């Protein structure tokens, strides 16, 4: 066994207390061995955390990584017209190599901003998995199914592809898990949902879906089925404890209770919800009811970055507006959402720094003008720290970024290829 010591910093513990300590990591086993004063002093390799805070690696519980290629391509529109007029026509032109390049760019941005794990719903998932493996990240991946606008054969083929990906891609890496991923309750027909979800249960994979994102999606569904969207979701077999729903903006009291009873989680995406004017999720209400809540950026085209530190701030701010209460979604709640909340929602290791837990951690520099003084490091994580404050990123015991240099990807090459491909993509789409 060889060890990594993250030394001389302060460590955020699972109860969100902060203590001066080292973190000792088993590099091959990918787990935390010890947390305590001088625990890392004799380690084989050391990462200097002096002046910094050692935090669990952040977990982005809902994104579409390759949408980095569409960052800034179509802004200032609501979800439905943004998807139909801009995003879907561009996505129809994506090649496998585009998706690999966009995902690499996302991986670079995630490592730089302290994200060690993520959930991705997109296309050409085996290529996405290759990138995740090379970058050294952890992920739960799935092929997004859309059946509206397709003939029956094409719709079933899409369902089969998502199930096939869920079954096979999880075998490709110890850091990759999968899920069955129907796009939403309105873009996938009922028969496909019922059959796909039942088969996902046989494969023992969770289901990830967009749900209750906009009024434009909820109202017609209620009209058609005569029940709330999450009651319909339950009827078609969704809402098992390992399932996780993106957004959950327009949920009523019955649906909050249904989530709490079933144990399915919600992934809050505040920046995307604000940018597309989708609405404000009742996050404090969900937390009060005992619903598991994680945090996601959604794709870079509706955000427009993949920084979870930015998302933390948005979650804390928007949560107060939604509740009309300045004490709602307090700093520790937001930090918990981006760490243990997201990791638990995705059933992935990580989210807590303690012996036996996955060695997914980051060091956030606190020695910066905008982070001075440090009355409360948890407050700084929620309200003041930025992506560029992340100094080191470690996933599964491996150093992915040391002193702001990403070690697993060639940053210049990744940026150049993504910029070229994005330009060609939008030329083809237009
Ligand atoms: C079928 S793969 C995933 C699909 O989802 C689209 N998408 C991106 N952001 C959102 C969002 O906020 N709500 C719904 N769908 C979204 C993405 O462009 C892909 O087509
Ligand atoms: Zn999404």
Residue 257: per-residue pLDDT: 98
pLDDT at 346: 98
Name the residue at shortest CA distance from atom 20 of ligand 1. Answer: 88
Residue 304 lies inside a defined structural domain of this protein:
yes
Q: Which ligand is nearest to the CA of 70?
A: 1
Domain boundary among 327, 346, 365: 346
Q: For 246-299, what is each residue's pLDDT tens digit?
A: 999 999 999 999 999 999 999 999 999 999 999 999 999 999 999 999 999 999
Mean pLDDT over all residues of the chain?
Answer: 98
pTM of this structure: 0.99
- 151 pLDDT band (50/70/90 cuts)? very high
Atom of ligand 1 nearest to the CA of 67: 18
- Is 52 within the bounds of a domain? yes
Q: Are residues 315 and 388 in the same domain?
A: no
CA–centroid distance, 122 to ligand 1, in Å, is: 8
Ligand approaching nearest to the C-alpha of 297: 2
Is residue 140 domain-shared with residue 247, that is, in the same domain? yes
Residue 151 marked in a binding site: no
The pLDDT value given to residue 299 = 98
Residue 418 domain-assigned (yes or no):
no
Looking at residue 321, its pLDDT comes to 98
Mean pLDDT score, 108-137: 98
273 and 399, same domain (yes or no): no
Q: How much distance in Å is there from the Cα of 334 to the middle of ligand 2?
A: 20
91 lines ligand 1 (CB under 6 A): yes
Co-location of 368 and 342 in the same domain: no
Q: Are residues 82 and 93 in the same domain?
A: yes
Beta-carbon neighbours within 5 Å of ion ligand 2: 298
Answer yes or no: is 204 a known binding residue. Answer: no
The reported pLDDT for the residue numbered 105 is: 99
Q: 91 a known binding residue?
A: yes
- Please, which residues have CB within 8 angstroms of residue 229's CB and are 6 or more apart in sequence? 185, 211, 212, 217, 218, 221, 222, 255
* Nearest atom (ligand 1) to Cα of 88: 20
Grade residue 423 by pLDDT with cuts at 50, 70 and 90: very high
The tens digit of pLDDT for each residue in 7-31 reads 999 999 999 999 999 999 999 999 9
Same domain, 200 and 253: yes
- CA of 209 from ligand 1 middle (Å) equals 10
* Pocket lining: 62 vs ligand 1, CB cutoff 6 Å: no
- The answer to the question of residue 69 being in a domain is yes
pLDDT for the residue numbered 69: 98
Q: Is 140 part of any domain?
A: yes
Domain of residue 48, CATH code: 2.30.40.10
The reply to whether 392 falls in a domain is yes
Residue ending a domain, among 324, 346, 368, is: 346
How many domains in the chain?
2
- Specify whether 339 is located in the same domain as 380: no
CATH classification at residue 281: 3.20.20.140
Ligand 2 centre distance from Cα of residue 2 (Å): 39
**64 and 31 within one domain:** no
Pocket test for ligand 1, best of 210, 217, 274 (most atoms within 8 A of CB): 210
pLDDT tens figures, 29-53: 999 999 999 999 999 999 999 999 9
pLDDT given for residue 401 in this prediction: 99
Residue owning the nearest CA to atom 18 of ligand 1:
87
Q: Is the CB of 272 under 6 A from ligand 1?
A: yes
Mean pLDDT of 69-77: 98
Model confidence at 381, in pLDDT bands (50, 70, 90)? very high
Cα angle at 246 between 245 and 251, to 5 degrees? 75
pLDDT of 376 reads 98
Ligand-binding site membership of 64 (annotated): yes
Specify if 259 maps to a domain. yes
**Do 242 and 212 reside in the same domain of the chain?**
yes
pLDDT tens digits, one per residue of 407-418: 999 999 999 999
- Per-residue pLDDT tens digits for 81-112: 999 999 999 999 999 999 999 999 999 999 99
On whether both 175 and 125 belong to a single domain, the answer is yes
372 is in which domain, residue-wise?
3-56+356-406
Please report whether residue 414 resides in a domain: no
Same domain, 28 and 106: no
Residue 174 Cα to ligand 2 middle (Å)? 25
Identify whether residues 203 and 309 lie together within a single domain. Answer: yes
């Amino acid at each position: 066994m060889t060890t990594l010591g993250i030394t001389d910093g302060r460590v955020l513990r699972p109860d969100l207390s902060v203590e001066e300590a080292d973190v000792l990591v088993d590099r091959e086993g990918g787990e935390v061995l010890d947390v305590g004063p001088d625990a890392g002093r004799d380690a084989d390799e050391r990462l200097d955390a002096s002046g910094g805070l050692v935090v669990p690696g952040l977990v982005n519980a809902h994104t579409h990584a390759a949408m980095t290629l569409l960052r800034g391509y179509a802004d200032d529109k609501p979800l439905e017209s943004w998807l139909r007029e801009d995003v879907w026509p561009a996505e129809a032109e994506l090649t496998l190599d585009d998706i690999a390049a966009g995902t690499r760019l996302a991986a670079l941005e995630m490592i730089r901003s302290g994200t060690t794990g993520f959930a991705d719903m997109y296309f050409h998932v085996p290529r996405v998995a290759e990138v995740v493996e090379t970058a050294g990240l952890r992920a739960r991946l799935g092929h997004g199914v859309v059946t509206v606008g397709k003939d029956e054969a094409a719709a079933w083929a899409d369902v089969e592809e998502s199930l096939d990906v869920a079954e096979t891609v999880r075998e490709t890496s110890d850091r990759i898990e999968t899920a069955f991923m129907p796009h939403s309750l309105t873009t996938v027909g009922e028969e496909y949902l019922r059959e796909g979800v039942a088969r996902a249960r046989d494969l023992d994979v969770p289901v990830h879906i967009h749900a209750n994102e906009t009024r434009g999606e909820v109202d017609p569904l209620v009209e058609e089925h005569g029940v709330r969207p999450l009651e319909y979701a339950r009827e078609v077999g969704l809402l098992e404890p390992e399932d996780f729903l993106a957004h959950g903006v327009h949920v009523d009291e019955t649906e909050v209770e249904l989530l709490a009873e079933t144990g399915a989680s919600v992934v809050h995406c505040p920046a995307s919800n604000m940018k597309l004017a989708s609405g404000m999720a009742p996050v404090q209400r969900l937390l009060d009811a005992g619903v598991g809540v994680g945090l996601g950026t959604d794709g870079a085209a509706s955000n427009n970055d993949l920084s979870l530190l930015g998302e933390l701030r948005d979650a804390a701010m928007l949560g107060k507006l939604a509740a009309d209460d300045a004490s709602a979604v307090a700093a520790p709640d937001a930090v918990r959402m981006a760490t243990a909340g997201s990791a638990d929602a995705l059933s992935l290791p990580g989210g807590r720094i303690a012996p036996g837990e996955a060695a997914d951690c980051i060091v956030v520099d606190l020695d910066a003008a905008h982070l001075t003084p440090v009355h409360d490091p948890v407050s700084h994580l929620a309200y003041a720290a930025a992506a560029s404050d992340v100094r080191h990123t470690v996933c599964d015991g491996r150093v992915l970024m040391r002193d702001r240099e990403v070690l697993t990807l060639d940053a210049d090459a990744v940026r150049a290829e993504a910029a070229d491909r994005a330009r060609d993509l939008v030329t083809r789409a237009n």
